[in-house]
Chains A and B, each alone.
Chain A
C-alpha cells in the first residue's frame, strides 16, 4: 500500500511512521504541515521514546498512526482529559494532546480550560481551520463572522452565534506563570515548529501547561482552490487570529 517515497523531497521527520505515508488527510489540508512541524520538534528534542500522543475525534483522528509513537485516540473533546490522566500516572512521559477547534473550544472546552487552570504539564495542540471538517463543514467556535458553513449558510452572525473564540488569548489570560501559550500558522511552519519546541520544553522542564493553536486550512469544506485557500489563511484568518507567543515562561509575552 505504502508508496515508495525515497526519491521524494523534502525528507520526512525521523519520528514519522513511513508505513502510513502518504497520509490520509485531504489534499491541501493543513494537518500534514502541523504534524510535520511537530515531528521535527520531537526529532530535534530527541524525545520520540518518551512521547505519548493522544488524538481527538474529527480530522485529528487520522493522525492515529502518524508517528512512531504510542498513540491513543479518544472521544470527541476528551483528549486533554485522557492526556492529563496519562501524565498524572506517568509524569516522566511527554504527553501531547492533539485536537481541532470543536474538540478544544466547544465540546471539550472545560477540559482545556481546567487543564490550563491546574497547570497540567501536558502539551495541548489545537488545529484551527474555522469549521468542523470531519462531520462535513459545520460552524465551529472559530468560524469567522460572516463565514458560510453548513450550519451558518448565510454567514456566521455575531448577533446570533457570537464572536469567534480566541483560544490562546483566553488560555494566556488564565494560565499560571511558567505556562507557554502561542498561536502559529501553517503559513509559517518553521515558526510553528519553534512554538512546538518551546511548548514541549515547558512540559519537559516542568514549568507549566503548554498550548499552541495552529491556524490551518480546509479547502474541502471551504470549497476553495489552492490560491483562495491560502488567501483565506493569510487574509481574514490571520486578521482575526493574530499569531505569536501569548505567554512565555519568565517573559510574559504578547502577539506579534
Chain B
C-alpha cells in the first residue's frame, strides 16, 4: 500500500468538500464513483486530484443511478467505495440505496443538501432528510449522520465507512451546501492515531477459490417469489437493524436540566441553536439545546428524556418539518408542545433564534 495520505495531525482552513475527499482518503477508500451536481462537485474535484497520488481510483458515471449502482458493484467486491450527490441526484440515488438496504451492501453516500423541491437552488437546505432517512420503497434501513461543520465532515466520513462495513448497512453522511462551500478550521488526522481501526472489508463476490469446485457460489438477489418469503427477509433486516441501533445512535445536548424550553436542530442549523442557547443563558433565560446527530436511527429516547416536563420544544430547521416528523414519532404520547421555526431552503441565524425564544418566553 502507498503511504498514508495523512501521517500526522494537520490543521487546515478549507472547504467542506475538500474535507470529505481527504477523509475518504484517510479512511482508505479505494474508489469513488460520481456524477457532477452542485454543491458536491468539489468532492470529486479534490478526489480526482488526490486519488492518483495514493493509488486510488475514480469513475465519472452517466448519472446518479449509475453512480449509486457502480458503487454497489464496487462495494460488493470488498472494496471500500463511496459516492456523493445532492438534490435531484439524491432522488435518483434512492434506487441504488434501496438495493443496498435489501442486500445489506455497505454503501457510503455523502449528500450535500441543496434547495428543493425540483432543481430549486444549488445553495443550501435541510430538505433531503426525508429522502436520506426514508426515501425509496422500503423501511429506511440506513444510518444517516447529520454533520454540523468541517470537523464533523471529517470525523463522520471516516466513521461512515466503519458503520457501513461493521453492520453492513448503507450509510449516509448528510451535509449541506453551506458545509460544502464554506471555509473553516479543521484538524485532519490519521484514523489510527485516534485509535480508530478501519473495519475490514470482505468481498461478497469474487472471493478466493473456484465457485462450485472449491466453495459454493454466492448468489445475491433482491427479488423474492412469495409474500411469506419477503416478510421473513424484511423482519430479518429489521431485527438486524434493531440489534445495532443503540450502538449507532448519537446526539448532543446541553443546558437541559433546568431548561423551560429546549431548542432542537440538526446539522449546520444546530450551530445556530447552540449559539442562541449560549447567548440566552448569558441573559438568564432557561433554555436547553438538543441536537440529533444520527437522524436514522433517531435518538428518540434521548430526546424524550431531554424534553420531559419542559414547557415547550422549539424545532428549528431549514425545511418544512422534515426533522420535526422524526421528533414527533419519537415523542408520541408526550404532551410537551412543539413550536416550529422552519425556513425551507434558507439558513438560520442564532440572532433570529434568540428573538424567537424570547418571544416564546413572554
Q: Do chains A and B touch in the complex (CB under 8 A)?
A: yes
User: What is the interface of chain A, defined by CB distance below 8 A to chain B?
Assistant: 15, 17, 48-49, 52, 54, 57, 61, 64-65, 67-75, 78, 81-90, 93, 110-111, 113-114
Q: Which residues on the B side are within 8 Å of A61 (C-beta)?
A: 221, 223
Whether the pair B212, A15 counts as a contact (CB closer than 8 A) is yes
The answer to whether A89 and B30 have CB atoms under 8 Å apart is: yes
Contact (A86, B77) CB under 8 Å given A48-B211, A49-B210, A71-B217 = yes
Q: B220 touches which one: A67, A72, A83, A113 (CB < 8 A)?
A: A72
Query: Do A54 and B73 have beta carbons less than 8 Å apart?
Result: yes
B212 touches A86 (CB 8 A): no
Residues of B within 8 A of A15 (CB): 212
B residues in contact with A54, CB < 8 Å? 73
Interface pair B73/A49, CB less than 8 Å apart: no
Chain B residue nearest to A76 in the complex (CB): B95
List, in ascending order, chain B residues with CB within 8 A of A84's CB. 59, 61, 66, 70, 73
Taken residue by residue from 59 to 93, chain B's Cβ proximity to chain A (1 for < 8 Å, 0 otherwise) reads as 10111011001111111110101000000000000
**From A19, which residue of chain B is reached at the shortest CB distance?**
B212
- Which of A67, A87, A89, A93 has most B Cβ within 10 Å? A89
Contact partners of B70 in chain A: CB under 8 A? 81-82, 84-85, 88
Q: Please report whether the interface of chain A is mostly helix, strand, loop or mixed according to DSSP.
A: mixed
A111 touching B62, Cβ below 8 Å: yes
Whether A88 lies near B223 (C-beta < 8 A) is no
Name the CB-closest residue of B to A95.
B73
User: A81-B66, A89-B79 provided; 8 other pairs, C-beta below 8 A?
Assistant: A52-B206, A67-B211, A70-B205, A72-B205, A86-B205, A86-B206, A89-B77, A113-B62
Residues of A within 8 A of B73 (CB): 54, 72, 81-89
Cα A9 to Cα B211 in complex, Å, equals 24
Are B221 and A73 in contact, CB atoms less than 8 angstroms apart?
yes
CB-defined A-B contacts under 8 Å, sample of 13:
A48-B211, A69-B211, A69-B212, A73-B222, A75-B69, A78-B99, A84-B59, A84-B66, A88-B59, A88-B70, A90-B206, A110-B65, A114-B66
For residue B209, CB closer than 8 A to chain A, the reply is: yes
A78 touches B221 (CB 8 A): no
Once the chains are docked, how many angstroms separate the CA of A93 from the CA of B76?
13
Measured CB to CB, the nearest residue on chain B to A117 is: B62
A69 proximity list for chain B (CB < 8 A): 211-212, 217
A88 touches B211 (CB 8 A): no
The reply on B22 being an interface residue by CB < 8 A is no
A48 CA / B213 CA spacing, docked (Å): 10
Which residue of chain B has its CB nearest to the CB of A70?
A: B205
Chain A hits for B205, CB < 8 A: 52, 70-72, 86
What residues of B have a CB within 8 angstroms of the CB of A70 in the complex? 204-207, 211, 217-219
Assembly CA distance A81 to B33 (angstroms)? 11
Q: Name A65's contact: one of B33, B62, B66, B219 (CB within 8 Å).
A: B219
Looking at the complex, which one of B210, B213, B220 makes contact with A71 (CB distance below 8 Å)?
A: B220
How far does the Cβ of A87 sit from chain B's closest Cβ, in whole Å? 8
Chain A residues near B76 (CB-CB < 8 A) = 72, 82, 85-86
Given A64-B219, A78-B65, A82-B70: A90 touches B211 (CB 8 Å cut-off) = no
Q: How far is the CA of A80 from the CA of B61 in the complex (A)?
A: 11
Asked whether B57 is an interface residue with its Cβ less than 8 Å from the other chain, the reply is: yes
Residue B316 CB within 8 A of the other chain: no
Q: Kindly identify which residue among B74, B213, B217, B218 contacts A86, using a CB–CB cutoff of 8 Å.
A: B74
Q: A71-B220, A85-B70, A88-B70 are in contact. Are A114 and B213 (CB under 8 A)?
A: no
* Interface residue? B96 (CB, 8 A): yes
A47 to B77, CA, bound (A): 17
Cβ of B158 to closest chain A Cβ, rounded Å: 20
**Set of chain B residues within 8 Å of A110, measured between Cβ atoms:** 62-63, 65-66
Given the known interface contacts A61-B223, A88-B31, the answer about A49 and B96 at a Cβ–Cβ threshold of 8 Å is no
CB pair A49 B209 closer than 8 Å: yes
Distance in Å from the Cβ of B297 to the closest Cβ of chain A? 26
Within 8 A of A (CB), among B218-276: 218-223
Contact of A81 among B65, B221, B223 (CB under 8 A): B65
Cα distance, A186 to B219, chains bound together (Å): 26
